Each structure stands twice: as structure tokens, then as C-alpha cells.
């Protein structure tokens, strides 16, 4: 309660009630792995023949795959709340794109086959000469 400055203080006004904060939406899935097993793979069905499409049963050993599945999960959780076009946008802009990359025979699972996971060869680029890529966090 606060006093009205235009009066002698004998009248008080209620402070305006704060708008209730909108509760954050609950996640449907608790992890990228749960999303992969419960939503993504049951709905994204493809023939994986190692020639036109590949998948590694131990996908979690591939950092790129983990990052892409995580991105797919997070985007799905966000876009599912858009009842109009959210799922269409998710399929077009996220699922189709990332799954095409993941399942590409030259993609992150290129070295794996039906017999199992094989660690991919990692790129080991040389460092650029000092000063070529200054740390922008240190610039004013």
C-alpha cells in the first residue's frame, strides 16, 4: 500500500497487482537421447543400407551427432508450442536438414558399418599465425 501524494495521506491505494509470470513450458522429453528413441527415430523411418544412408548404433560416440540430436530436440520442444506451423517448420528446417546430414554416407557415421562403431578420423588443422584471428572478446 502507498499514500496518494495528492492527498493528506488519509487515503491509500492498493499497489497494482503484478501480472502473474507465465510458467515456463514443461519439456516433453528429459534428454536428447529420450527424444531420439521416443520421438525422432520412430517417426523418421528410413532404409539404412550403408550405401545411400548410414547410422551408427553407438551414435553417442560421435560429437557431431550428439550436437545435432540435441539441436533437433531443443528445436522440437520449442516449435511444438506453435500450434499453427511449428511442426511443419521443425520438419522442414530442422529434421530434414539434420537427418540428411547425419545419415549421409559421407556424414559423421562414414566410418561405421553394420558390424559396429568405428572412431572417425579427426581433422587436425594447423593453428593460424599469431594475430590472424584476434580474440574479439578482448576488443573494446
pLDDT at 21 over 80: no
Choose from 33-37, 42-46, 129-133 the range with maximum mean pLDDT: 33-37
Tell whether pTM > 0.75: no
- Angstrom CA distances, 44 to 10, 20, 36, 38, stand at 69, 39, 10, 11
- What's the rounded Cα separation, in Å, for the pair 32 and 65? 11
Check: CB of residue 27 under 8 Å from CB of residue 77: yes
61-103 pLDDT, tens per residue?
A: 999 999 999 999 999 999 999 999 999 999 999 999 999 999 9
Sign of CA dihedral 91, 93, 94, 99: positive
Provide the CA 24 distance to its chain's centre, in angstroms: 17
Specify the pLDDT at position 6. Answer: 52
Amino acid at each position: 500500500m502507498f499514500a496518494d501524494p495528492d492527498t493528506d495521506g488519509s487515503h491509500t491505494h492498493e499497489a497494482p497487482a503484478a501480472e502473474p509470470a507465465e510458467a515456463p513450458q514443461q519439456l516433453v522429453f528429459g534428454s536428447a537421447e529420450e527424444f531420439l528413441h521416443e520421438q525422432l527415430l520412430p517417426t523418421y523411418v528410413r532404409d539404412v543400407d550403408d550405401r545411400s544412408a548410414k547410422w551408427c548404433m553407438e551414435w553417442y560416440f560421435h560429437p557431431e551427432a550428439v550436437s545435432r540430436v540435441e539441436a533437433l530436440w531443443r528445436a522440437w520442444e520449442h516449435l511444438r508450442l506453435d500450434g499453427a506451423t511449428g511442426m511443419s517448420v521443425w520438419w522442414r528446417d530442422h529434421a530434414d536438414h539434420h537427418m540428411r546430414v547425419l545419415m549421409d554416407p559421407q556424414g559423421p557415421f562414414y566410418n561405421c558399418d553394420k558390424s559396429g562403431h568405428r572412431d572417425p578420423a579427426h581433422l587436425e588443422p594447423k593453428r593460424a599465425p599469431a594475430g590472424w584471428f584476434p580474440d574479439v572478446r578482448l576488443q573494446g
